[in-house]
Structures are given as structure tokens and as C-alpha cells.
Amino acid sequence: MNDMIKMLFDHRSIRSFQDIALSDDQIEWIVKSAQAASTSSFVQAYSIIGIKDRNKKAELARLAGNQAYVAKNGHFFVFCLDLHRLQMAAQMEEIQEVDIEESLSSTELYTVGVIDAALAAQNAAIAAESMGLGICYIGGLRNHLYEVSSLLKIPDYVVPLFGLCVGYIDYRTDKKQRLPMEAIYHEEEYMSDGKMCTYLRDYNQDMVAYYKQRTAGKKKDSWTQMMAKMLVHPKRLYLKKFLSEKKLPLQ
Amino acid sequence: MNDMIKMLFDHRSIRSFQDIALSDDQIEWIVKSAQAASTSSFVQAYSIIGIKDRNKKAELARLAGNQAYVAKNGHFFVFCLDLHRLQMAAQMEEIQEVDIEESLSSTELYTVGVIDAALAAQNAAIAAESMGLGICYIGGLRNHLYEVSSLLKIPDYVVPLFGLCVGYIDYRTDKKQRLPMEAIYHEEEYMSDGKMCTYLRDYNQDMVAYYKQRTAGKKKDSWTQMMAKMLVHPKRLYLKKFLSEKKLPLQ
């Protein structure tokens, strides 16, 4: 195992940062690392918005569900799916919006943009970690996309997908144990339900033991219990409507 | 700039591999690196299917639009969005499918799964590159999802999103120049159209010069021309229907 893989294995989300701003060089390395990731057919269908302004960060922290580390960190990045740039490219080539609407509103191009944004974000995360910084993804930005969108002046065809806190680590949490490799990795074809079930039961035992030790017996949920609880309360059902209003009806 | 960032900057897609299979150790490091990536609320909503079988790889290469490197490489991974595992988790907790259908069929959970799969894939790609191997993402798998799905026995709630070829490099292509950082990175809020336009014009000049040199004058397209051409021919419009049939109507 080489040093890079060791670093990847050692990843954990950091939720407590020192109040030290990243330098412009650090920001540039992170963003350029993001850009170096693969992109589908060279579309580069994402944008990154960097937030330094303390009031704006505080507001985003509130919108993300009062997550203090969205306000206090070295830098806050918002990763967006961006088809607006593509629409502008077409406009510069004198193509009417109506002639590209079918593409822009397709589930395919939405999927491409989400993948592009996530590949870029993961490169950004790794670049930050390679500099000894900590990171935390913030899916909570999707709790209030209308407000986030208005705060960041997000145009049509653009969707803030998630945030990324980066900063000097104040407190380093434990690593959470992932599903056993066997439950994620299938050979030649998708595995049988029987096999999957066995792996999930093993994992449940491991997770119960982990939480028992970590929370002094307070948290006892197994992974399947946590997932079942989550699924019975659907989240962010307004997303479909928000996307339609951003001209992305996912057709 | 550290070695890790140097490696990220040096990425390019490899489309010609030697006919040498990866070792089981290499596959394990790659998959476990993928698993070490962040995951939204710990859902780990993706699966990876590894393909060694030569006939299956040849068939996938055909389905992806006759891309020879899908057949000839060290290992072929298929990254899938996976909500089936979550449905099984709920079932193990004696929750009825009907009680979690709203969650499972939501645009939100689809978005979460696509992000999870892409973060994992980018870690896999970086782990592979850190071992001196080359990689290439294969979005072309989405050309024929019904056939791919049947070949890999993909259940409901699971979607093959893209492939990842990994292998010993036979021929190393040039790096393609990305958009200028200024066209991707916005400060405090989304930039004005005027600014974006200026950056795209600069980029067009760079790309025209790059292609001119690389193709001995044969390819002359600017980036905005390439994007405009792509957008007037909508791709994979059946995806929406395919997702619905996999019980993912994106509501």
C-alpha cells in the first residue's frame, strides 16, 4: 500500500476547524485539482462558488441545519451542477435556447452534471487532505435550495448540490467503518439477495459494537435500523419542483 | 505543490492498455479506496461490479459504442447507483416497501446515490493512478442500459451509471486543457454572464490552438462550438423511462 492510498484510507469528515483562512494559493490548488478530474465529453458541467464572507457563511450554516462548521472553517466551497455555461456556449454560437432545451432538460444531462461536480469535488477534497487540511461535505445545503440559490445569485440551469468545508483541523473524529467490501463489490454480476443479507447482518454486528464503544452504550442502532428509520421519513421532496423552476424538469 | 496534487494535475484519460490483469490485491486496494470516500448520511448508496470475463467485457465494449479499451484493460469496474441495498435494509427491519417508496423514488435520493457513486469512483481512480495505472471513465455504458442491466443482472432500484477501465498504460495521451479557473470558480456569488463570456472566449482561443497543433490542423472546433454541436443532438432521452422501470421515477 502506497502513501496516497494510506491517505485515502485515513479519511474522515472533520466537523471542528480552527478559525484560520486558507491562503489564495491553497484555494487555487484545491480548485485546479478539482478541475483536473475527468469530465464527461469535456462538458465540465459544474461550478464552484467560494465563500469567505462571514455573514454569508453564517447564513449558509443556518440554512444547512445549524451546522456550526459551515460558518467556522478555512474556506467554504459550494459545488453546483452547471448547465448555464453550456447554454451560454450555445448562445455564443447563435443557437436558440429552444433548440437545446431537450438536451438541457434531460435526466441524462442532469446525471452528467451531478457526476462531473462530484468527481471534481472529490479531487478538491483529496487535494485539501494532502495539504494536511480537513474536509466535510455538506448535503444539508439541499435543505433550503431556494434561499441558498437567492443568496448566491444562482441562475437558471444551475443547482447548488452540496458544500465542502475545508480548514485546519481543530478536532479529529474517528473513522467510521464502511460496509464490508463484499457488500459493495460484486463479481461479474449483481450478487444474490441472500449473499447481500449475510453481509449486512455481519456489518450490523460490527456497527453496534462500534457505536456501543464510541457512545458509551448510548447509541445502539445497527446500520439497517439507521437506514430503515431514514427511509420512512422522505427528505427534500421539493427538489423536483426546485429543479423544474431552474428549467431542469428532468425529462 | 505536493506530490499528491502533482499527481492530480497530471491526470489524463488512458484509452490504450496492456493486456495484463490487475492482481486481486490491486483490485482490493482500489475498491477499499472507493469505499473510504465520504457518503451522505452513511447511506453508501452505490455498488461496484468488477468484470474479468473476456466475453462480458467484449459485449460491454460493444454496448458502450465499440470502445476497444472497455474490452482490453487490466480490470473493468461498473459503478452503480444502488438503492436496492437500502430497500433490503428496510426489509430486514420489517418495513414494508410501500412505506419507503416515497423516499426511494425521490429525485433527492437519486441525486444522493449519483453523488455517492461518483465520489467513490474518483477515489478508485486516484488509487489506481497512485499505483502507476491508467484509468478511463466510460459514460457510454448509458447508451444501452437495458442490455447492460440484463447482462449484469441489475435489480430494481439499481442503475449502472458509468464504467471505469483500469490498467497498465500502453499509450499515454496528452492532457486536455480545462476551462480557465476563472470560468469555474466564482467568488461569493455566481458571476455575471459578461464575465463568463469573456473567459469562454479566451478558452476558445486556447482550445483552437491546442487542437490545431495536436491534429495537424484537422480539428478546428472551439469549446463553445463543440458544446453547441453536442447540445442540439439530445442524448439518451430514454434514461427517464429506464429509471422509472427500475422503480426510480424521480419524484
Q: What is the 3-state secondary structure (H, E, C) of chain A?
A: CCHHHHHHHCCCCCCCECCCCCCHHHHHHHHHHHHCCCCHHHCCCEEEEEECCHHHHHHHHHHCCCCHHHHCCCEEEEEEEECHHHHHHHHHCCCCHHHCHHHHCCHHHHHHHHHHHHHHHHHHHHHHHHCCCEEEEEHHHHHHHHHHHHHCCCCCCEEEEEEEEEECECCCCCCCCCCCHHHHEEECCCCCHHHHHHHHHHHHHHHHHHHHHHCCCCCCCCHHHHHHHHHCCCCCCCHHHHHHHCCCCCC
CA-CA-CA-CA torsion sign (B47, A111, B134, A122): negative
User: Average pLDDT for residues B7-34, to the nearest whole number?
Assistant: 97
Q: Which three cell numbers stand for residue B104?
A: 426511494
Position B218 pLDDT exceeds 90 = no
How does the average pLDDT of chain A come out, rounded?
96
Residue A93 is nearest to which of B88, B139, B224, comparing CB atoms? B224
Position B26 pLDDT exceeds 90 = yes
Q: Buried b / exposed e across B150-184, counting CB within 10 Å, b at 16+?
A: ebbebbebbbbbbbbbbbbbbeeeeeeebbeebbb
Does the distance separating the beta carbons of A29 and B5 come in below 8 Å?
A: yes
User: Average pLDDT for residues A236-242, to the nearest whole number?
Assistant: 98
Q: Which three cell numbers stand for residue A10?
A: 485515513
| pLDDT tens per residue across span A180-197 | 999 999 999 999 999 999
| pLDDT tens per residue across span B106-139 | 999 999 999 999 999 999 999 999 999 999 999 9
Burial class (CB in 10 A: 0-12, 13-18, 19+), A94: exposed
Chain B nearest CA to A188, separation (Å): 5
| pLDDT tens per residue across span A36-65 | 999 999 999 999 999 999 999 999 999 999
Rounded Cα distance, A161 and A46, in Å:
10
Chain B nearest CA to A218, separation (Å): 19
Q: Which residues of B touch A89 (CB under 8 A)?
A: 200, 223-224, 227-228, 231
Position A210 pLDDT exceeds 90 = no
Cβ-contact B14, B172 below 8 angstroms: yes
User: Average pLDDT for residues B212-233, to the nearest whole number?
Assistant: 90
User: Average pLDDT for residues B2-19, to the nearest whole number?
Assistant: 96
State residue A155's pLDDT score.
98
Residue A148 pLDDT class (50, 70, 90 cuts) = very high
Rounded Cα distance, B123 and A125, in Å:
10
- Interacting residues of B202 by C-beta distance below 8 A, sequence separation 6+: B180
Asked if B58 has any chain A CB less than 8 Å from its own CB, the reply is: no
Position A216 pLDDT exceeds 90 = no
Q: Which three cell numbers stand for residue A18?
A: 480552527
User: Average pLDDT for residues B186-193, to the nearest whole number?
Assistant: 98
Asked if B219 has any chain A CB less than 8 Å from its own CB, the reply is: no
Q: Which of A25-29, B139-143, B160-164, B218-222 is predicted least confidently?
A: B218-222
Rounded Cα distance, B15 and B10, in Å:
16
Residue A88 is nearest to which of B1, B92, B193, comparing CB atoms? B193
Position B215 pLDDT exceeds 90 = no
Kindly provide the ipTM of the predicted complex, given to two decimals.
0.98
How does the average pLDDT of chain B come out, rounded?
96
Cβ-contact A64, A141 below 8 angstroms: yes
Position B1 pLDDT exceeds 90 = no
Cα separations (Å) of A232 from A208, A220, A240, B86, B89?
21, 19, 19, 11, 12
Cβ-contact B223, B203 below 8 angstroms: yes
Q: Which residues of B touch A240 (CB under 8 A)?
A: 106-107, 250-251
Q: Three-state SS for B134?
A: strand
State residue B211's pLDDT score.
84
Nearest to B224 by CA among A102, A45, A90: A90
